[in-house]
């Protein structure tokens, strides 16, 4: 039995090397010229040949899918992007998140600015998290909303987690980073003493940061759903998310989070300001977010579903459809309070 990710051709020849093996392939995303990330953002129009490259990048995936006994995708929306010809061998099971470790803690604390700004639950902390700060994950939309948020909430602080490289999409102009480009666009309008870029941080500090977050903003193109959104929900965050298909699969507006137009800085700012102004009204959304995240629990939901699928495929069966929404767990640990004054550069 072989389980593999086909994204960069890793599984292409495995069944030739081991012809008796059964192959279960992780089908994370299938690219197309419409309906998803490609062409979504009018600020970055496609260039001549981009549509051809988009089709060509699927060639390896199609070969890998054809050689697989079964495919598995983490969300229903990501599964919907897989060509229909493969749907009869496709299951939907999330990777899973650790909802035992990822739980609210009213005693959580973080410090910013070399210890000058200790913050805890109840402080107006607005969080934004990406692996790298770039348009695919709405960094430009968030930065354009930030001046209005800080203007209307003079006690608010924005804590921005992420590196300066490019994970997805096109690269910035030569010699620049997306982080610099969109920060420079708005920095004259910001109270810079309340904007904290902390880079990439150790996981336990990231968890405590989301615990103290008053509002967590998650924006994405129609693309792969980030673990960080589900982790924030498990931690009881008040989530402001983009009304894009990956997010809409999980967030129900006004029930377990708030949905906003990905491109509207005004709408993002209004949602964040309103949530900061009335934290009591957000308490039910926080509780509901936590409950929604439990459906993605690794140990109780997702891992058992994955194991059932693996056993079925190994036995020669097609496997079940598995579970829809699952979570990953670690040990029930209580991380020490995070000090984000001097972040450690550890990739997430």
Instruction: For residues 139 and 79, give the distance between their C-alpha atoms in angstroms, rounded to a whole number.
Output: 26
Task: Report the CATH number that the domain containing residue 118 is assigned in CATH.
Answer: 3.40.50.2000
pLDDT in tens, 68-82: 999 999 999 999 999
Is position 164 within any domain?
A: yes
Please name the residue ranges forming H helices in the chain: 14-17, 50-56, 59-67, 76-80, 139-152, 178-186, 203-212, 227-234, 245-248, 265-277, 279-293, 303-314
Residues 129 and 216 in one domain: yes
**One domain, residues 85 and 212:** no
Q: Are residues 177 and 206 in the same domain?
A: yes
Residues 75 and 212 in one domain: no
Residue pLDDT, tens place only, 8-63? 899 999 999 999 999 999 999 999 988 999 999 999 988 878 889 888 999 999 99
The tens digit of pLDDT for each residue in 196-213 reads: 999 999 999 999 999 999
Q: What pLDDT band is residue 338 in, cutting at 50, 70 and 90?
A: very low
Find the domain containing 206 and state its range: 109-294
Q: Has residue 321 been placed in a domain?
A: no
Q: What is the pLDDT of residue 311?
A: 96
pLDDT reading at 182 higher than 60: yes
DSSP 42: T
Residue 300: inside a domain: no
Considering the domain architecture, whether residues 88 and 237 belong to the same structural domain is answered as: no
pLDDT at 347: 29
Claim to verify: residue 150 and residue 255 sit in the same structural domain: yes
Beta strands at 109-112 and 117-120: parallel, antiparallel or unpaired: antiparallel
Q: How confident is the model at residue 317 (pLDDT cuts 50, 70, 90)?
A: low
Position 337 scores a pLDDT of: 37
Residue finishing a domain among 252, 269, 294: 294
- Of 92, 120, 152, at which residue does a domain stop? 92
| pLDDT grade for 170, boundaries at 50, 70 and 90 | confident
339 domain-assigned? no
pLDDT of residue 184: 97
Residue 320 resides in a domain:
no
Task: Mark whether 71 and 135 lie in a shared domain.
Answer: no
One domain for residues 154 and 41: no
For residue 299, is it within any domain?
A: no
Residue 47 lies in a domain: yes
Do residue 240 and residue 153 come from a single domain? yes
**Residues 272, 134 within the same domain:** yes
Does the pLDDT at position 175 exceed 80? yes
Flag whether pLDDT at 324 surpasses 50. no
Asked whether 63 and 57 are in contact (CB, 8 A), the reply is no
Domain co-membership, 74 together with 136: no
pLDDT the model gives residue 116: 84
What's the rounded Cα separation, in Å, for the pair 32 and 223? 11
Q: Of 213, 244, 214, 210, nearest to 230 (Cα)?
A: 210
Domain end (from 294, 311, 336)? 294
Residue 34: CB atoms within 10 A of its CB come to 9
Is 251 found in the same domain as 157? yes
Residue 203 · residue 225 · CB < 8 Å: no
The average confidence (pLDDT) of the chain is 90
Structural domains counted in the chain: 2
- Confidence check: pLDDT of 336 > 60: no
| CA–CA distance, 7 with 88 (Å, rounded to integer) | 20
The pLDDT, as a whole number, for residue 330 is 29
Whether residue 14 lies inside any domain: the answer is yes
Structure token digits, residue 151? 């203007």
């Amino acid at each position: 039995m072989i389980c593999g990710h086909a994204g960069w051709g890793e599984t292409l020849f495995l069944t030739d090397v081991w012809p008796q093996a059964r192959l279960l392939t992780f089908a994370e995303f299938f690219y197309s010229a419409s309906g998803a990330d490609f062409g979504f953002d009018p600020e970055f129009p496609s260039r001549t040949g981009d549509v051809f490259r988009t089709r060509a990048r699927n060639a390896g995936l199609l070969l890998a899918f054809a050689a697989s006994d079964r495919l598995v995708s983490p969300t229903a929306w990501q599964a919907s992007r897989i060509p229909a010809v493969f749907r009869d061998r496709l299951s939907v099971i999330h990777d899973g998140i650790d909802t035992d470790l990822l739980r609210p803690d009213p005693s959580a604390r973080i410090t910013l600015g070399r210890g000058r700004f200790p913050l805890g639950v109840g402080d107006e902390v607005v969080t934004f998290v990406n692996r790298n700060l770039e348009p695919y994950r709405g960094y430009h939309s968030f930065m354009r909303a930030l001046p209005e948020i800080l203007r209307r909430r003079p006690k608010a602080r924005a804590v921005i987690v992420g590196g300066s490289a490019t994970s997805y999409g096109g690269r910035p102009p030569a010699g620049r980073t997306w982080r610099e480009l969109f920060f420079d666009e708005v920095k004259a309008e910001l109270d810079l003493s309340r904007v904290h870029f902390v880079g990439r941080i150790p996981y336990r500090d990231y968890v405590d940061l989301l615990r103290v977050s008053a509002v967590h903003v998650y924006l994405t193109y129609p693309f792969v759903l980030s673990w960080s959104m589900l982790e924030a929900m498990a931690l009881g965050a008040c989530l402001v998310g983009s009304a894009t298909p990956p997010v809409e699969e999980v967030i129900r507006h006004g029930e377990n989070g708030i949905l906003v137009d990905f491109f509207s800085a005004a709408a993002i700012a209004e949602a964040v300001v309103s949530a900061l102004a009335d934290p009591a009204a957000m308490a039910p959304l926080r509780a509901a977010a936590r409950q929604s995240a439990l459906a993605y629990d690794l140990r109780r939901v997702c891992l058992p579903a994955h194991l059932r699928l693996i056993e079925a495929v190994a036995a020669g069966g097609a496997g079940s459809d598995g579970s829809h929404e699952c979570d990953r767990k670690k040990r029930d640990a209580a991380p020490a309070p995070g000090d984000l004054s001097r972040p450690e550069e550890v990739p997430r």
